[in-house]
Amino acid sequence: MSPTPGRRRAPSKGDRRERAILDTARTLLAHKPLADITIDELAAGAEISRSSFYFYFDSKLSVVVTLLRALTGELNADAGPWLDGTEPDEPGLRRAVATLAAIWRTHGRLLTGVLAAAPTCAPIGQWRAGLREAHIARLAARIERGRAAGLAPAGPDPHVLAGMIDDLQTATFAAATDPDGLVDDLVTVQLRMLYGQLPPRHSSGSSARGTSGDHAMASSTRRPNPNSSPE
């Protein structure tokens, strides 16, 4: 094999195997959640035995984290001019959201699969939290600038509002079948959250407080396993 000048080195057998594992993981994640994927499958996909898998990765998680590292750049890149601007520049926002939507279109299954695992497993949760915090910080700063410039109405604490927007975007795309179709709506809603003025109040406000407290737990006669069919 001529070591093509310019390339450091021909990819070794191990390199190919590692990629094969990663590719298999990507493929499988498109079909089922992380929790349902076994190391056997990952290994089989790369045509090695289960124990050989451990030569390449510590665990399923390490595989996913590696996959995620590759996505982080893309995910951050979308932010661009919108987050660093100040004006309520709709086209800029639309561009940002559209880019995000494109990522979700391509990597949607991976992202939802991984996000599903986030609450349960620390490293993934941290990855998500990192992205979220980064987004919130920039967006909150943007909100502050906008308000200071009199471009946006007062409202919730910028960090809280930014968090809501981030959550909204993630939840919306995660639930979507067609991310691109949601871009316009997401833009509209986001602009309203940031800049929406409420029409004058009709007043007539009373701040009552009502805490409903009724429980009702039926206790039927028990047969072995009265509680039925989960999964």
How many of the chain's residues bind DNA (CB under 7 A)? 23
Position of tokens 């309520």? 88
Under 8 Å between Cβ of 80 and 96 = yes
Tokens of 76: 């951050």
Query: What residues between 90 and 109 interact with a second copy by CB under 8 A?
Result: 90-91, 94-95, 98-99, 102
Under 8 Å between Cβ of 90 and 79 = no
Q: Is 17 in the site for DNA (CB under 7 A)?
A: yes
Query: What residues between 146 and 205 interact with DNA by CB under 7 A?
Result: none
Q: Of the two residues 119 and 130, which places its CB atom closer to a second copy in the complex?
A: 119
Sequence-separated (6 or more) residues with CB below 8 Å from residue 135 = 79, 83, 162, 166
Q: Of the two residues 31 and 50, which places its CB atom closer to DNA in the complex?
A: 50
**CA-to-CA dists, residue 148 to 36, 90, 207, angstroms:** 49, 19, 31
Query: What residues between 42 and 61 interact with DNA by CB under 7 A?
Result: 48-52, 54-56, 58-60
- What is the closest distance, in whole angstroms, from the C-beta atom of residue 48 to DNA in the complex? 4
Which residue in 230, 226, 228, 167 sits closest to 193, CA to CA? 167
- What is the closest distance, in whole angstroms, from the C-beta atom of residue 124 to DNA in the complex? 14
Q: Is 14 in the site for DNA (CB under 7 A)?
A: yes
Residues making contact with DNA (CB under 7 A):
12-15, 17, 37-40, 48-52, 54-56, 58-60, 221-223
